[in-house]
Each structure stands twice: as C-alpha cells, then as structure tokens.
Amino acid sequence: MRLSLRQLSVSCVALTGLLAVSAHAQSAPASSSESQVKKLSKSSAPVRKKSSAGNGLSSSVLGQFTGGTEEISVTSHSVSSTGVTNRTPGGGLMPHQTAPRSQSGITRDFIAKQAPSSNITSLVADLPGVTVSSQDPFGMTGDHLQVRGLNETQMGYLFEGAPLADPINYAPYTSTLIDSENLGSVTVSQGSPDLNAPFYNAVGGQITATALNPSHKAGGFLDLGGGSYSYNKEFIRLDTGDIGNSGVRGYVSFSHTSYDNGARGPGGLLRYHLDSKFVKEWGDGNSISAIFSYNKQSATSWRSPTKAQWDQYGVGFSYDKHFTPGDSRYYKLNQQNLNQQLVVLPMHFTLADNLHLHVSPYYVHQFGPSLGGENIPASGGYFGTQQYGDLNVGTPVNGSILTSSRDPWNQKTGGLNVSADWRLSKSNTFSFGWWYAYTTHEELSDFRPVYADGSGWSGDVIRVGGKILTGYDLNFMQQVNTLFIADTQKLLNDKLTLSAGFRVAMVSRQGTNLVPGADPYKMQGNYFEPLPQFSASYMITPKDQIYINGTTSFRAPESVEAYSQIFDPNASHATMQPQSLKPEYSISEEIGYRHQGNFYNFSMSLFNINLTNHQVTSTGYIPNTNMMVASPINIGGQTSRGVQAEFGLARWHHFSPYLSGQFLHSTFDNNFNTGSGYLPTAGKIAVQAPKFTGAIGLNYDDGRFFGNFDLRYVDTQYTTFMNDEQMPAYVTSNITLGYRMKSFSYLKHPQIQLNLTNIGDNHYRSGSSYTANAHPHVTSTGAIAAGSAPVYYVGGVFAAMVSISSGF
C-alpha cells in the first residue's frame, strides 16, 4: 500500500479536529434540537411509522416475513430539516436488518451529512465488500463499483420497486435517478437478489433505493452550495402536505448543479434535475404512489490513461483545452450526455386480511448523445465494407477530416411487476408473481465535420450516396418475462423461518445492423433460466439471528456490442466483432450471524460464489477514436470465497462509530482462450477482486454541532487475467463539519455544512478496464499473445463544498 505521510497526517488532524469540535460543543448549552436528541436516545427501541407507500417494494422472498426497514418521512422524529433523526447505529450506516442474507444499508442519518452532489453508488462506499471507483470529487459521475469480485453491471439496481439501470448494458446511471436531498435509504444485498426482483443480470446482488415520503405538512426545503472548481448546486423542494381529506400528499423538487474539471483538465459538468413523488393512502395497507423524475446532464468525458500515461501525466491526463486543426482530443468534441425521464407507479392493495397485492408499472426513457472526436479519411474511407470517394466536406489535414463522432442512442422501456402474498395459515405464506418488460433501442452514429476554425461540429451530418455515414445503425428490441413462486414457513414459535422459491426467467432479444456489409445483418438471443433459492433463519434471542441460504441467478450477455459489429471509416472491415456469449450463471451460499441490540449492531457472514461463463466487462476505445464502448469477455469459471463483517455503535455521548471490512479470495477456474491458444490463467487471482477492503467511520451529532469522518482502504487489484499488471492499494478519507441553528420565523432548523473529500489529496487509480495480458505471453499452441494495456479510471482529487440549507 502506498500511503503518503501527508495523507496520514491530514487524516489524523481532521479526526482530531472533529473530536475537538465535539468537546467544545458538549460544553455549549443545549438547544431545543439537542433536547430532542436526548429524548430520542432514552428510547430503548425506535418507534417506526409504517407506510407501504414509503418504499413501494414488492415483498422479498428472502426475509419478507421477518420484517424490514421501514421508511420515515422527512419530518417524522427529525432533529434537522435534512431528515436526520440520529437513531441509526453507526451514524446511519447500520440500520436494522432481518433478511436471511448479507445485507447492509444507509439512512438519512448518513446520507444528509454527505456532499449534496453524491449519487447512490458513491454513498455506499463504506459498506462491507463494496468498492466504489470514483472519478470526480463530487460523487456525480461514474457508477463503477465492485462487490465480491463483481462489478456494477452484475448488480441489480431497484428504485422504488422498478429496475431502472440500463436494461441492455446494465449501467445504473444513478446520478440521473434522484437528488440526494430526496433519497430516503439505500440497501445493499451482497451476493444475492430478491427472488421476485425484476432482474436478469443480478449475479452479484442487489442495490435498493427509495425516495423520501412526502411530508404531511405543507412547506419545503432549500439547499444552496458552492465549492472547489466552481462547484455550485441549488436545490428546492416544495411539499403540498395533506391535500384536504383526499389522503393525497406530495412534493416537487428542482435542482441545478455544475462544476469545472479543475485539476483533471478543461470542461466540466452541467446538470438539471426534477423529482416528484405523490402518495395516496387509504384503509389498511392500501396505497398508490407516483414517482416522476427528469434529468438533463452533459459533461466532458474523462480521459482514461494506461499505466504508462498515468506515470507520465498523473491526474493531468486530459483532453486538450485549445483547438488546433485536426486535433481529435479537443475537449468540446468529447462529451457525454445522460438524459432520462422516468415514471414509477408502485401500488399496494389489501384484497383480504390474508391476501396482499403489489403492482409496479414503470416507464423509463434514456437517451444521449455521446460525442468523440475522430479523424476520418477525406477520400477512400469506408462506409461499412464499401469504400467511398471524395467526401468534399470539412478541412482536410494530411488527407483526413476532423469530425465530431456522435452516438445519439435512444432507449425506451416499459414494464410491469406484479406479485401477491397469500397467507395460508398463521405460520405459512405463499407468494407468486410475474414481471414483463419491453425495451426498444435505436443507435445510429454519425459524423459531423469540424472546420479549421473549430466551427461546424454541431452542423450537418456527413452523407455517402445520400445515406448517413455511420459505424453502426442499430435497431434492437428486447422482451423479458419472469415468473416466480415461493413458500415461507414459520416454526418453533416463529423463531425458525424457512423459505424456498423458484423463478424462471425468459429473455428474448433481436436486432438489426443496417450498415452496408454487416454480417450478421440480424442478430438474436434467447435465454431461458430456472433459478431456485432457499433460506433458513433462526432467532436465537430477539436480538440475535443466524441464517443460511443458497441462491442462483444469471446475467444475459451485456451490451448491444455483444450481438453486432462495429465499423469505422478508417477500416475496411469491422473493428469490433460480436461474440458468441452464453449467459453468466452463479450459485451462491452464505452463512451468517447478526446481533442488533440497544447498544451496538454487529453482523458477519461467510460466503462462497461459483460462476460459470463469467463475463468481465472490458471498457476500451474503438480503434482510432475517442469513443469508449463496453465489451464483455467470457473468461469461463470463477470462484470467490470470503468473509465480511460490520460493526456499528448506537449513540454514546453523541458519538456513533462504525467499522466494516472484507477478506476476499477470488480466482479464475479456467485458462483463457485467446483464439490462437490458451493462456494459463486457471488459478490466477481474479481482476476487480481486492483481497482486503475496509472502512472506518465516526459520526458526532449533539443536535447543534455535527460532523462525520470516514477513511476507506482498498487493497491491490490485478487488472489483467495473467496478473502481469496491477493497480496499487489506496486510501481516501472525507470529513463533514456542520452547525444547526434554532428555528426562527419561517426557517426550520437552518444549518451550514462543510464537506471535504479526499482530504489528503491522494492521487490514485480507482478502477480500470481489463485485458488478458499487458505483456506478451506464449499460449498453449506456442503462439505469442501480444500484450494490451488496460486503461484506468482516475480517482477524484481534493475538493471542498459548503452548503447552507433550511426547511420552511
């Protein structure tokens, strides 16, 4: 591990400062908020407010009848306008869990004290076994994470009961889903998804996020922030409160966020976001929620270095700030746009005392474009496999034309998830359900000429013979059907819970590529997978639980590129070929123990995961371009074994410490087929599988002064299948300091908050793409497998953010 003296000293100074602030605060007179905290701390068990509309989730077969975390609206039991209650052990990092599997979570007690720009992925970085590869210090871009040797595309992302990750390449795009000010809770299930969860990729587990419930009182919340690199965010939420006697309440919020890339180069990010949630409740357990979100986001692409480029340029490896003719690395030509509209309507009905129905229709529209600079031949280039003549556009430089290569992908998904719980007797419940989803995907790339003065790149597209010059003209369609049944039996005075279920998933895909010479012109994929699950849980005492489970899950091949060729005007043949990929399949076993008491929470689990047809996602540049695509690689089998644990202390003298850690041993089971022979990868350590990861958190909150400190360690990771290149271990730490004022006039609990990220300004590589080998190796046939250098994500540098917020 490379830990600089500056990194260590700054972390220690920050922690000492937090303790000093707390000591001063304890001598200050107690505010009304502090009194509320003291009253709450005397309660031996928190009083929870049930609301079926609070999470909008169908019941999970794993633990569905042992209770679960119930959401609290932002004003219930709060000591602040941000929704902090100071009731979750570990400073909001260890909420109550009952599912018979590894499961961790975060609540408003933690979320509200993080940077207001944080997304769902960046917020779960302290949880056991979770490694987040950040790219900016504000936690907005990049949803790259690893859990037990698997990445984000192998995790199921559930938001308010709907699967809202990209249904084809499985990227979660969590910054487009919700503002952190509206985020109620996040739960990470390491290793296994819910049996009834609407996924066909979740071999690594499940991440479930819920929005805050609307307040019963009319009002609102305002948050204004600024900081390093011209960072600024303006957020406002308006609550309707209960609308007459209709049983309806809701909120609407709007935010604007922007920043410059600063030390990472020219450009930056601009984001506009709208959230709304309305709830109608009546009778016993009946509710309908309506969640709407709109996101418009544009950002300069991060440039990913190889190891050699990192050693030479460090964090300064970026796109060019100034334009020169023929420069495809000009930053304005390399942009990522993430636009999304989503609607989710979770509904819950009590049809009879023993019969409950859950219905969640949803619709999501995701679209680009992505932009990358590229020089293409002015004459004699290729449209698919057909050679073209003189293009007569742009400004030729050395026989090439600089263009803006655009990928205006457009994707729409509609789905319906239905399940029912039928209590056959006091001790037995039968569950069944169906999920259907339909997705269309259109992707027609084009090229737009850039002239010598840098103009024209947003103008007319280049055409050949009246047709748009393109590298891929894709029309893709997907249908998904899943059915499940499950039965849960309680025995021994409800101490023993046995659950067994079976799910069958059916995925049908087909698409066309209209580029001249595309072979195959039409591609198809049909997958049918049976997925059994079993779990057993025993309550030794009301506070101590042991559990065991065995689960299966699968992932259909990732990305459109897995089925279609990619062409480029610089090549007479396809630069990327579709692969014959089989579905990834996992079998997981866990045994675990958790204690949840008045003073502390503790959990530990041992796990084993066996994967077949394991697909590692290698993100790389299309040859001769600045456009990156995700390419899945089948490396055969992989076995991952390990232990994870976490500990959280309830509030003690206003402090709430937290510890988490994981040991992981993950290896490849097979030699890798290069096409010309096999590389001896069997037994090698798997990529994206650090042996040790850990986090330390310390939270302080007396109702007036509050602060949060966390330190994260990630061990060395191999970035090639042959283990001939690795990414060094790294440490990062963050700190939060804040002060709440008394309510006055129309302002409720106004506060000021300072967030410092990467306080040691540690420069590090946080993640990577993966290749078979970085250096030449001899294969089983005696052929030489040429080396290919992985490219890396660069971790976010130091940044400071100040935010002022208040309810009203």
CA distance 787 to 792: 16
Give the pLDDT confidence of 172-214 residue by residue, as tens digits. 999 899 999 999 999 999 988 998 889 999 999 999 999 999 9
Which pLDDT score, from 0 to 100, does residue 281 have? 94
Strand partners, 478: 439, 509
pTM above 0.85, yes or no: yes
Q: Which pairs count as long-range contacts for 487-491, CB under 8 Å and 24+ apart, including other chains?
A: 487/428, 487/429, 487/430, 487/431, 488/61, 488/64, 488/65, 488/428, 488/429, 488/431, 489/427, 489/428, 490/65, 490/427, 490/428, 491/427
As a whole number, mean pLDDT of residues 675-679 equals 89
CB 211 within 8 A of CB 224: no
Residue 537 banded pLDDT, cuts 50, 70, 90: very high
Better pLDDT: 2 or 331? 331
As a whole number, mean pLDDT of residues 685-695 equals 95
Residue 78 banded pLDDT, cuts 50, 70, 90: low
Question: Where are the chain's structural domains?
Answer: 5-204+235-807
Task: Take residue 127 and report the two structure tokens written for it.
Answer: 């949880």
Residue 440 CB neighbour total at 10 angstroms: 14
As a whole number, mean pLDDT of residues 50-77 equals 44
DSSP 567-629: --TT-SS-SB----PPPEEEEEEEEEEEEE-SSEEEEEEEEEEEEES-EEEEEEEPTTSS-EE
360-396 in b/e form (b: 16+ CB < 10 A) is bbbebebebbbbbbbbbbbeebbbbbeebeebebbbb
As a whole number, mean pLDDT of residues 358-365 equals 96
Q: Is pLDDT of 147 > 80?
A: yes
Give the pLDDT confidence of 629-673 residue by residue, as tens digits. 666 788 899 999 999 999 999 999 999 999 999 999 999 999 998
Percent helix / strand / coil, the chain, rounded to 5? 10, 50, 40
As a whole number, mean pLDDT of residues 328-336 equals 92
Which pLDDT score, from 0 to 100, does residue 626 have? 61
Supply the mean pLDDT for the chain: 88
As a whole number, mean pLDDT of residues 528-554 equals 96
CA distance 144 to 189: 17
DSSP 255-292: EEEEEE-GGG-S-EEEEEEEEEEEEEEETTTEEEEEEE
Which pLDDT score, from 0 to 100, does residue 141 have? 82
Which pLDDT score, from 0 to 100, does residue 27 have? 38
CA distance 725 to 770: 10
Which pLDDT score, from 0 to 100, does residue 619 have? 62
What strand order describes the sheet that includes 150-151?
130-133, 144-147, 150-151
Give the pLDDT confidence of 10-54 residue by residue, as tens digits. 444 444 444 443 444 333 333 333 333 333 333 333 333 344 443
Q: Is pLDDT of 595 > 80?
A: yes
CB-based burial label for 415 (10 Å; 0-12, 13-18, 19+): buried
Which pLDDT score, from 0 to 100, does residue 15 have? 42
Give the pLDDT confidence of 496-517 residue by residue, as tens digits. 999 999 999 999 999 999 999 9
Q: What is the CATH T-level fold of the domain 5-204+235-807, as seen in this structure?
A: Maltoporin; Chain A (2.40.170)
Residue 134 banded pLDDT, cuts 50, 70, 90: confident
The lowest-confidence range among 70-74, 165-169, 653-657 is 70-74
Residue 88 is given by DSSP the state S
% the chain with pLDDT above 70:
88
List C-alpha distances in Å: 396 to 302, 328, 331, 468: 27, 13, 20, 19
